[in-house]
Amino acid sequence: MSLGNWCNVEHFTTLDLYAQYALTKNLTFHGSVLNLLGKEPPLDVQTYGAPNAAAYNPAMHQAGAVGRFFNIGGTYTF
């Protein structure tokens, strides 16, 4: 099979950040930002323009494929 029969999608890189802070021995806070710079994934020509289909392949990048994703939380242990 020739290479012309394969779908080539450009690569892309995202910047993700994670931080955690222990306020006390039992209390910690954490937060993360996926796709900090809001990089858009490359178009997937197999799905682009198809009815009811996304313009990207979600298998390429699940979290943050359509923008930034924020997460914050805390943990308290007894």
- With CA atoms as reference, report the closest residue to 61 among 24, 27, 35: 35
Contacts of 76 (CB under 8 A, 6+ apart): 26, 27
Predicted confidence pLDDT, tens digits, the chain (78 residues)? 455 555 666 777 889 999 999 999 999 999 999 888 888 777 665 655 566 665 555 555 555 456 788 999 999 999
Q: Are 31 and 72 in contact (CB under 8 A)?
A: yes
